[in-house]
Homo-oligomer: A and B are copies of this chain.
Amino acid sequence: MIQKLISKIKSTNAPIVVGLDPMMNYIPEHIQQKAFAEYGETLEGAAEAIWQYNKEIVDNVFDLIPAVKPQIAMYEQFGLEGLKAFKKTVDYCKEKDLVVIGDIKRGDIGSTSAAYAVGHIGKVQVGSRTYAPFDEDFVTVNPYLGTDGVKPFVDVCKAEKKGLFILVKTSNPSSGEFQDQLVNGRPLYELVGEQVARWGEECMGDDYSYVGAVVGATYPEQGRVLRRIMPKSFILVPGYGAQGGKGADLVHFFNEDGLGAIVNSSRGIIAAYKQEKYEKYGAENFGEASRAAVEDMIADISQALNNR
């Protein structure tokens, strides 16, 4: 799947991923009202609003981008109905030939991580049959439990040719509280990064590993160091746009080959119509606003990469 991601990044010339993290207050009134008219102000109604919102955004941007990253929490908060909308979104994006990164941040002891891995990127056995329940292409994984919590995901990756992005240095303000603690003079996230490189060695594509990392755009200097520590790992970079990261901050996350990173923007794309810059589109045309925001993001990152 890393090969497909790379080939799509090359063909779109866009090392970006659109985060499908639908908060209810992003969803235009007309979409919400239509869904509530049909299903009431229920969890099913919320799920329908999310799905219609996602669909219109995907229809407007799918040809410009290699990948999407639905954040499962935004669906899970609406319970089973929300998770149905998650699954529908995953399936629809795959129909559109997008690479789907399930932002699930799971991680547990070995046998439990194995269950998450088969459920999200692998196949589960039921009697004599197998099923691929959620069937994302990549998932994000939390490393706090160490190798035996991550290994089951790596094993499924290898078998299914899927991929992982493992949390190394997250984009949030308090990420340093534990991740930056010095261990023998070096921050913990560097140790985690070294392990990511090691875990990835056994699942290599042509030039990059199936095992990547998450490093926030909000920490460009740490990105520079981690780029060197994990030369063969793709870095998923959240925090661009709404969280404060800028194009110029991102260059250190890329290798000399212009690859090695994929930058996520969620709110900045999916709720673009709410920004002054795109308000001319109006809430009715939120999908077109998202398309314009994607084009601007691609230009910003291309320019930053060309100027380095």
| Interfacial residues, chain A to chain B (CB-CB below 8 A) | 21, 23-24, 32, 36, 41-43, 45-46, 71, 73-74, 76-80, 82-84, 87, 105-113, 115-116, 118-120, 124-129, 131, 133-134, 142-149, 167, 170-179, 181-184, 188, 191-192, 195, 238
Contacts and interface: CB of A to CB of B under 8 A. Distances in A.
Given A108-B105, A110-B172, A177-B195, A79 B131 contact: yes
Given A79-B87, A181-B191, A73 B172 contact: no
A171 B174 CA distance: 26
Contacts of A133: 43, 76-80, 82
A300 to B, nearest CB: 22
A77 B116 contact: yes
Contact of A183 (B118, B119, B181): B181
Nearest to A192: B178
Contacts of A192: 178
Contact of A80 (B80, B109, B183, B191): B80
Given A71-B112, A79-B133, A142-B142, A149 B172 contact: yes
A73 B142 CA distance: 14
B188 A175 contact: no
Contacts of A107: 105, 142
A188 B195 contact: no
